[in-house]
Amino acid sequence: MDLQEPLTDQELQTIEAIEASFTKKRSTRADHTQEPRRRTRRHLPSSVLASPSSPSFSLSPCQANLRMKYQTLSFGGQILYSRTSVEVEKAAVELLQVLEAKKKETDQVAIGFDIEWRPSFRRGVLPGKAAVMQICGDTGHCYVMHIIHSGIPPSLKFLLEDSSLLKVGVGIVNDAAKVFKDYNVCVKGVEDLCCRANQKLVGSSQKWSLASLTETLVCKELPKPNKIRLGNWEADVLTKEKIQYAGTDAFASWHLYQVLESLPDPVLEAAD
């Protein structure tokens, strides 16, 4: 596949068919271990089930029946999309002002961070550069920046290199490495939600995805449709669906960090 062309409908359908086959196999194996997972879900701390104060977002209690379809995690705030250098610079300045105000109220300010790029499925063809960067710091606003067109202007670079601003996400270390490789900008102050989850959830040593962590912590489904996830993030202008997808991922990272921080730290048993 040429790097400048998006995946065809036929290619996407093939990928979805393969993924559906694996999902069916996993579901069959899960039937033998369903009861222990039920007990784990019932014993999650009550703080996991608490609803945030924002009226635009609510959580439902975890269901004991794992076969029940979860409600979809959605972001009810405003997603601000920018694609030119001037627009991205303006968005970054606005975001920095909001975060600086929050620094006066709390010791640690965290933002959900994620990136998207065009994948490659052909040998010898490298994936595209980081094309979209999404950042979310509350329930009200998420910023989706089309950096494949704008580059990383000064204010966004300053934000990324500010180690006092904690950037959180699943696989964020790899994302930071890609940003450095593609744009020579060092993303500082990062924390992987996988590591944080395994610290908080005693006995867990899983390699989480953002979707699986969302399901475990807040009993919500984080949709990952292939036609969006594997689509052309280098398009001239992102579709409404891609903008919503990107913003929701950043919000999920921010929100899951808040949930994890609300959980008590595990009590370590004293050595004999």
Q: Tell the CATH topology of 9-262.
A: Nucleotidyltransferase; domain 5 (3.30.420)
Place of tokens 């807040």: 218
How many residues are given for the chain? 272
Give the CA distances from residue 59 to residues 47, 53, 56, 71, 104, in Å, rounded to whole numbers and listed in that order: 11, 11, 11, 9, 29
Place of tokens 């202007």: 153
Specify the pLDDT at position 12: 61
**β-pairing verdict for 141-145 and 165-169:** unpaired
Question: Is 54 strand, coil or helix?
Answer: coil
Can you tell me the distance from the alpha carbon of 77 to that of 140, in angstroms, rounded to the nearest whole number?
A: 4
Can you tell me the distance from the alpha carbon of 96 to that of 113, in angstroms, rounded to the nearest whole number?
A: 14
Can you tell me the distance from the alpha carbon of 148 to that of 213, in angstroms, rounded to the nearest whole number?
A: 29
Specify the pLDDT at position 211: 95
Specify the pLDDT at position 205: 79
Q: Where are the domains of the chain?
A: 9-262
Specify the pLDDT at position 144: 98
**β-pairing verdict for 130-136 and 141-145:** antiparallel
Average pLDDT by consecutive 10-residue portion of the chain (272 residues)?
49 61 51 45 42 38 54 93 98 96 90 94 84 97 98 98 97 97 98 93 82 94 93 96 97 97 77 50
Can you tell me the distance from the alpha carbon of 118 to that of 3, in angstroms, rounded to the nearest whole number?
A: 8
